[in-house]
Amino acid sequence: MDPGTTGLPKGVLREAGGHAVGLNLTITYIFGIRGPGDVIFTASDIGWVVGHSYIVYAPLLAGATTVLFEGKPVGTPDAGTFWRMVEEHRVNTMFTAPTALRAIRVQDPDNTFFEAVARRGGLSTLRTLFLAGERSEPTIVDMYQRLLEKYGADGAACVDNWWSSESGSPMTALSRLPATGKNLRSEAFVKPLPIKAGSAGKPMPGFDVRVVDDDGKEAARGAMGNIVLGIPFAPSGFTTLWNDEDRFWRSYLKRFNGKWLDTGDAGMIDEDGYVHVMSRGMISVLIAFTTRVLTFYEADDIINVAAHRLSTGE
């Protein structure tokens, strides 16, 4: 594979058991898939960490139905492909990348294809549209939020979440157990937190998300900085790089002397504790797994404009 700008690809190694624990938790409590009868459509490649985690493993752990899709959001044959899939398979949760929705918006700026399916009730089962991969700009989130409120299931929402190959499951998100349903572990009713367009939500269990300056000191709320993670890492997270402990130290821990794990991403945490990821650094590709899961990552979504390195979100 193309090593991108980080040199040789790096093998991200995690424990299969820990990954399963994280996926079993998140498929229910984040993605709102409650078990047999629910349907999740993750519009990703099975090779990407999102794909093998939430097309294959997590739905199987939940006993839910999963949709495997081959094609593009546009041109196969048009910009209504995703919405027809939701209608045909009665999808409850959909997961895709902001880039896919940007491509759809270019081809269908007036949401003609979306509304053609929606007006005949084809999106009435859709409870949540999840986005991840790079920053979801507020205009995308706001637009789909309005559409889902009009045409989706009761309480339907568009939710951004943030994670990486290294984390194995979302580091930030908002839980989407339906507000009208009961928590699977208690009799208490669940009320989802409000959505902030442009934010990737709040830290998820197991992830101690902080923002620090270049000296590793925590930044004030609302101030931009390096997004780092406290140690120990969550069960789904990686434990080292395959056959390269030295590179694991140099790439993730050395910068802050082992106090923080450097995600390579930048952003801020606002006064309400919502995480805003403004610049992405790394994503991953699965190449093999045995009793452990092995993934690779490369530099992502950085472009060079007049000698300035910018993320596509910026």
Whether 229 shows a pLDDT value over 90: the answer reads yes
pLDDT at position 291, please? Answer: 40
Q: Are 200 and 159 contacting, i.e. CB atoms less than 8 angstroms apart?
A: no
How many C-beta neighbours within 10 Å does residue 245 have?
10
3-state secondary structure (DSSP) of residue 55: helix
Which is higher by pLDDT, 154 or 186?
154
> Considering the chain, what is the average pLDDT of its residues?
86
Among the residue ranges 48-62, 80-94, 168-182, 217-231, the one predicted with the least confidence is 168-182
**133-144: pLDDT as tens digits:** 888 889 999 999
pLDDT at position 184, please? Answer: 52
**252-293: pLDDT as tens digits:** 999 999 999 999 999 999 999 999 999 876 433 333 333 444
φ and ψ at residue 87, rounded to 5 degrees: -65, -50
**172-212: pLDDT as tens digits:** 999 887 544 455 555 455 677 899 999 999 999 999 999 99
pLDDT at position 286, please? Answer: 32
**23-80: pLDDT as tens digits:** 999 999 999 998 999 999 999 988 888 998 999 999 999 999 999 999 999 999 999 9
Position 310 confidence tier, pLDDT thresholds 50, 70, 90:
low
φ and ψ at residue 26, rounded to 5 degrees: -75, -30
HSE-CB at 151 with a 13 A cutoff on CA atoms is 21
pLDDT at position 8, please? Answer: 67
pTM of the predicted protein model: 0.84
Whether 220 shows a pLDDT value over 90: the answer reads yes
Residue in the structure block whose two tokens are 């789904």? 236
pLDDT at position 301, please? Answer: 55
Mention every residue, 6+ apart, whose C-beta is less than 8 A from residue 111: 143, 147
Q: Are 24 and 76 contacting, i.e. CB atoms less than 8 angstroms apart?
A: no
Q: Which amino acid is at 152?
A: G
Mention every residue, 6+ apart, whose C-beta is less than 8 A from residue 107: 74, 78, 79
Return d(Cα 185, Cα 173) in angstroms, integer: 20
Q: Which of 208, 119, 107 is nearest to 167 (CA)?
A: 208
CATH code for the domain defined by 10-173 = 3.40.50.980
Assess whether the region 10-173 and the region 206-311 belong to the same CATH fold: no
Return d(Cα 127, Cα 38) in angstroms, integer: 11
Q: Which amino acid is at 111?
A: N
The helix/strand count (H/E) of the chain reads as: 8, 17
Domain 206-311 falls under CATH 1.25.40.10: no
Whether 110 shows a pLDDT value over 80: the answer reads yes
How many C-beta neighbours within 10 Å does residue 193 have?
15
Annotated domain spans of the chain: 10-173, 206-311
Q: Which two tokens stand for residue 181?
A: 């349903």
